[in-house]
Amino acid sequence: MPVAADPPETPNLGVRVGILSLVVVGSKLRDTSPLLALLALALPATVSARPTVVQNPNVNPSPNAVVIDLGAPKAAPTQPAPSFSALDDYASDTHKEAPLQLEAPHDLGNGLVQIGSMVVPQEMLDGAEMVGNAADSFAAEIGPVAGGGAPDLNEICAFPEEVPGGIYDYDARPGGETPRHTTVYLNYLGATMSSSGENSAEDLSRIARTGHPYPVYSGGETRAIAAAQAVSADFDDLAVRIVYEERPPKVLPYTMVMMGGHYSDTTAGPSGGVAPLDCEDFGQRNVCYMFLPGSPAVQQANVASQEIGHTLGLGHTNASDSVMASGYAPTQGGDLGFNDSCADTINVSGQGAACTGVNRCHCGVPDAQHDKNTLFATFAPAGIDMVEPTIEITSPPDGTEYETGEDVIIQVDPWDDFGGYGWQLTLEDADTGEELAQAVDYDRALEFKLTGVPDGSYRAIAMVQDHADHTTTAEILFTVGNAAAGSTGGDGSGGQSSGSGSGTSGATDGASSGDSPDTSDEMTEGADTDGDSAGQGGDGSDDGCGCRHSGPDGGTALLLLPFALLGLRRRR
């Protein structure tokens, strides 16, 4: 649930000068706090507080290590989803169409409220600013651009020294860098959803009806392809890939659009579509909905692009030629795109919510939005990605031995030239090659915790993937307890082996996933963790884990040191 953080009130400059003078004059007093308290009571109207901030509910800024419990029962196999080529088997001439606009906010529970097609934390209706980490960020109150002129739209922000806290100050964890690449999956095949989080790979959506089978698209294959092509055209100039034939792999961060169905298949109120607002796309794994399977393909595309826009940080505006126009009933018909100038944002029933800090950066005021500049501040321009990602296992060293029953902590260091990449860890039996477990680091903790590991020899394989479908792996061997000696494999240094695929900006991708959601805190697949980070230090040190490993004697180590330094990877 989003938690609002109220920063302490900060007096304006005039009040601060007055307080300083009184404190200096009364410096002989032993305690000036009663005087200051009296002054605060006497001048409430002159004290200005910085705006309240609210935690972005789509991101976990302080995750724990991903837990892989080898003693946990395996998840039951699920029924495979229908194939896209069989979509016509589900076509229907009767559709439950929804009204296109919600006139008043709709309470979704859990601290969320729906305004039209957008879902935001309740606190935003009272002016709170959504930030990526409410514990560390406070929104700074800033006014128009100095001199009254328009901001320079060629810059990310016209006044970066005054950017509100939490706005475009992405955390340093890998995967969240900007500019990014991303993928959007148009899901025409349905799924059984759960409301216990927000994670496209695990069919988690805070708007979902838990356990309810979201229906297969009923508009037919031809209309589905036409709508997908129109959506893809809206993102032609951005590094945003639109796919629909096959689902992306879990390791890759992607937005999922549930195409078809009806608002009653979710907890949303009447609308043509609905999506969570994710300022600056911090979450990267949102789920949104398009509820008009019987409408023309162009209208479906307009609705879908607006819902995708919400997940990427865009609110409603009054720009009639933009897909972000409120109510899906703009004055101009046809296939719409994103607006290339500042347009006023829309309030519903006197209440509104938008990424106000971002809007200040691009338009100088909080209640105007520039669609294109907001998107280009986060995402790279369209182009071919030629650089493969890399990943290293920084801890433990290859060949580490553990005591029976001891937890194994594995830390990784992934990298790519663009943000938006993802990584996972696979555990294999080193003797048989059998895959024992696999987990994606959804929250970018950079650490996996293996528990309940039986005695034996194991191979841990870390894999990273980008949105051009390039993949790279690194692996180590380790043993637990009285494992048989003589196991082979690994390169002794967390070495890399690379395999790449050619990603395109077309409407298909070459990866698939049919796994079911697993919402437990400890799992062997798709761990989605919460809480403060824990485990080993950022320096990759043992921290007393009880590992045993041998190395060269002191003299040999000194001779090898220059060569080891040459092998250090230079990072961006």
Query: Which tens digit of pLDDT belongs to each residue from 270-314?
Result: 889 999 999 999 999 999 999 999 899 999 999 999 999 999 999
The rounded distance, in Å, linking the Cα atoms of 310 and 29 is 56
Q: What is the mean pLDDT of residues 555-564?
A: 40
**Lowest mean pLDDT across 80-94, 117-131, 133-147, 224-238:** 133-147
Query: Which tens digit of pLDDT belongs to each residue from 378-402?
Result: 999 999 999 999 999 999 999 999 9
CATH numbers and ranges of domains, the chain: 4-49 (no CATH), 88-378 (no CATH), 390-504+518-566 (2.60.40.10)
Res. 513 pLDDT band, cuts 50 70 90? very low
Q: Output the pLDDT for position 499.
A: 54
The rounded distance, in Å, linking the Cα atoms of 182 and 235 is 11
DSSP string, 247-311: PPPTTS-EEEEEES--GGGBS--S-SEEEE--GGG-SS--EEEE--TTS-HHHHHHHHHHHHHHH
The rounded distance, in Å, linking the Cα atoms of 374 and 238 is 12
Q: What is the mean pLDDT of residues 60-79?
A: 87
Q: Match 């046809």 to its residue by tokens.
A: 334
Task: Compute, in degrees rounded to 10, the torsion defined by CA atoms 14, 18, 19, 23.
Answer: 150
Q: Is the pLDDT of residue 102 over 80?
A: no
Query: Which tens digit of pLDDT belongs to each residue from 463-503?
Result: 999 999 999 999 999 999 986 444 444 444 454 445 555 44
Q: Pull the structure tokens for residue 215.
A: 């229906």
**By the 8 A CB rule, do 322 and 281 touch?**
no
Instruction: Give kind and range of the element (H or E) at residue 185.
Output: strand 182-187
Query: Which tens digit of pLDDT belongs to each residue from 153-176?
Result: 445 675 556 666 667 766 678 999
Q: What is the mean pLDDT of residues 352-377?
A: 88
Count CB neighbours of 168 within 10 A.
17
How many residues does this entry show for the chain?
A: 572
Q: What residues contact 305, with CB distance under 8 A and at least 6 apart?
A: 231, 234, 235, 323, 336, 337, 338
Q: Output the pLDDT for position 558.
A: 41
